[in-house]
Structure 1
Amino acid sequence: MKRVETVCNIEALPLIIQEYAKAARIYDSSCSENARTFFLDGTVRSYLKLGKKGALEKESRMMDFVSREGLAPKVIAYISDVSEDYLLMEAVTGEDGVSGGHLDNPSKLAHVFGEYLRLLHSLPTTGCPYPSRTAEMLAEAQNKHADMEILKHLKGSPVDDVIIHGDYCLPNIIMEHYQFKGFIDLGSGGIGDRHYDLYWGLWTLAYNLKTDQYKDTFLDAYGKADINEDRLEFCSVLANLVE
């Protein structure tokens, strides 16, 4: 994971966050244009995410929901002021799926990546703050593309029945020597169709490993009996419309 030591105007932060930042060494760990991320290496190791007002609310709520099941870092604070969002989370030990040597054993990586997705999809859905992710994504796609005829001609139709990550890519899972530590960046998650995550899982393996030869390893580890090719095709098209 990217970490470049930097300085931060601590006094400009909300008071509760200042307490975590004032005695910490601060590292820029940003990897997205939509938010800035800082690693606070202090008494409590944590990550501070900054975004536009309202931009981090969904992530905060989904991180809190999944963390209660022990599968995501604990949310310390979420604050939204007149212009900006602040999300402070405990840091878990480990590195993301493309760091810490995890790419050195592609077969093992693909296998555990499938297993950990099954773990996420096995969570109880009761109390999830976003119960209709497919409908939300279809509305988002409609806003971006007036012509949605491509979806109407597909055989599959999505079933919202599991907790999905929404952006199930290797940088969004933390492991230590392939041992699961937590999911991060859950702002696109909620109750949705498992095939949406399966599509992104296949995409990231092909992209980061520069080959699609580990497709079956990933799907076998997840459980091919629960995979419907028509729904996978639907979700792959939907993902590209939303992107």
Structure 2
Amino acid sequence: MLSHFPHPELPHPLLPLVAGYQWNRDVLGQSDSSIFLLKAPDRPMLVLKVEAAGSFSEFVDEAARLDWLGSHGMPCPQVIACAFETHTNWLLLQAVEGTDLASTNLSPKDRIVVLADALKRLHALDVSDCPFDHRIEKRVAIARTRTQAGVIDESDFDEARLGRTATDLFAELQARIPSTGRLAVTHGDACLPNIIEKNGRLSGFIDCSRLGVADPYQDIALACRSIAHNLGEEWVQPFLARYGVDRDDAERRDFYCLLDEFF
């Protein structure tokens, strides 16, 4: 356990906010950012997220979305402070209490209930009140930009797509764009590690930089993929039933998993 922050360039305004905390680095997530968990006796746990500033950085988006989500009654981390600098972005959050659905001791049945009910609650928000547009044409345009910039990690593709190039996958993505259906406020990366439970109930949504108005299958697809990976394929159908999917669209699910390869 670290007693001090390993980055001496921590912005001065953040120093008094983290004084007295002990630090652990969180290695669960797979993002390019560095995440530190800060703990101190009788004080709320904090999360400090650090990323390189640039065209594809996410913390400015995340801070705005967390503020919006919290103001609409959804449980999520509270933004304590942020500093967006020339080379580095810093985001200090008050942590959500509980355990993520990938790490919890809850049974698979209880996990899918928490996940399905959490997504139904999020998707019930009024899309006309959400300023973040993540509809398919917007996301495909960003995927194109990321592909052209050469920032796609081709070694991190899903197993079925390993060995292919980002350019090849983007051509497939363009050819498979589905029709526009119902829209909802979506999380954007609705995998088990990004949903926190406490005592068997939703405690909060985390890693919300991709939250926005989109097809609900944006979340359904990544949730199903995460369930299959963490709990087993046999739990996908019970999740869909709990969420309320009467007729599953496997092709649409696969499209959104393909889209996720670019982010």
TM (norm. structure 2) is 0.79
Does the C-alpha gap of structure 1 residues 116 and 85 become closer, same or farther in structure 2, counting only changes over 3 Å? same
Give the corresponding residue for 2:20: 23
**Mapping 1:124-135, distance limit 5 Å:** 124-135=126-137
Matches of 1:115 and 1:231, distance apart in 2: 21
Give the counterpart of 2:71 among 51, 68, 74: 68
Any idea what SS the aligned residue of 2:225 has?
helix
What is the CA distance between 1:235 and its match in structure 2?
2.7
- Using the alignment, how far apart are the partners of 1:10 and 1:44 within structure 2? 22
Structure 1 position 159, deviation (Å): 3.7
Distance 2:175 2:34 in 1: 40
Shift of 1:154: 4.5
Give me the whole-angstrom Cα distance separating, in 2, the residues matched to 1:155 and 1:63: 29
Counterpart code for 1:66:
L
Gaps of 5+ in 2: 148-165
Stretch deviating more after TM superposition (193-202 or 155-164):
155-164
151-160 vs 176-185, which deviates more? 151-160
Change (3 A) 1:236 1:92: closer
Equivalent residue for 1:168, pick from 190, 196, 207 = 190
Contact 1:132 1:190 (C-alpha < 8 Å) held by counterparts: yes
Q: 1:68 to 1:227 in 2, by over 3 A?
A: farther
What is the match of residue 61 of structure 2? 58
Give the direction of change, closer, same or farther, for the CA distance of 1:172–1:33 in structure 2 (3 Å limit): closer
Taking only the aligned residue pairs, the percentage that are identical comes to: 25
The Cα shift of 1:14 comes to 1.9
What's 2:159 paired with?
Answer: none
Shift of the 155–40 alpha-carbon distance from structure 1 to 2, 3 Å rule, reads: closer
How far apart in 1 are the matches of 2:8 and 2:175? Answer: 55
- Judged with a 3 Å threshold, the aligned counterparts in structure 2 of structure 1 residues 5 and 174 are, in CA distance, closer, same or farther, namely farther
Report what 2:253 is aligned to.
232
Do the aligned residues in 2 keep the contact of 1:11 with 1:18 (CA within 8 Å)?
Answer: no
Q: Within 2, Cα distance between the matches of 1:153 and 1:29?
A: 38
Q: 1:34 to 1:237 in 2, by over 3 A?
A: closer
Q: For residues 208-233 of structure 1, give each alpha carbon's deviation from its aligned partner in whole angstroms, at most 9, with x where no partner exists.
A: 11x21111210111111486555434
Name the amino acid aligned to 1:29.
Answer: D
Pair 5,95 (structure 1): closer, same or farther in 2 beyond 3 Å: farther
Q: Which amino acid aligns with 1:202?
A: C
The aligned amino acid for 2:224 is L
Amino acid at match of 1:176: K
Change (3 A) 1:225 1:46: same
**How far off its partner does 1:78 sit?**
1.9
Partner amino acid, structure 1, of 2:97: T
Q: Is the 8 A contact 1:158 1:231 kept in 2?
A: no
The C-alpha deviation readout for 1:18-66, integer Å capped at 9, x for no partner, is 1121111122124335111111213342111000115211111112211
Aligned CA distance change for structure 1 residues 61 and 33 (closer, same or farther; 3 Å): same
When structure 1 is superposed on structure 2, of 214-223 and 23-32 the one drifting more is 23-32
Which runs of 5 or more residues in structure 1 are unaligned?
none
Preserved contact between residue 196 and residue 204 of structure 2 (Cα < 8 Å): yes
Give the direction of change, closer, same or farther, for the CA distance of 1:152–1:20 in structure 2 (3 Å limit): closer
2:151 paired residue number: none
Alignment length (residue pairs): 236
- Rate the CA distance shift 1:108–1:185 in 2: closer, same or farther, 3 A: same
Cα distance in 2 for partners of 1:89, 1:237 equals 31
Secondary structure in structure 2 of the residue aligned to 1:64: helix
The match for 1:198 among 220, 228, 233 is 220
The equivalent residue for 2:163 is: none
> Which string of whole-angstrom CA distances, capped at 9 and with x for unpartnered residues, describes residues 153-172 of structure 1?
54831347211111111111
Q: Residue type matched to 2:25 in 1? A: D
Residues of 2 paired with 1:179 and 1:173: CA distance? Answer: 10
Specify whether residues 124 and 151 from structure 1 end up closer, same or farther in structure 2 by C-alpha distance, changes over 3 A only: same
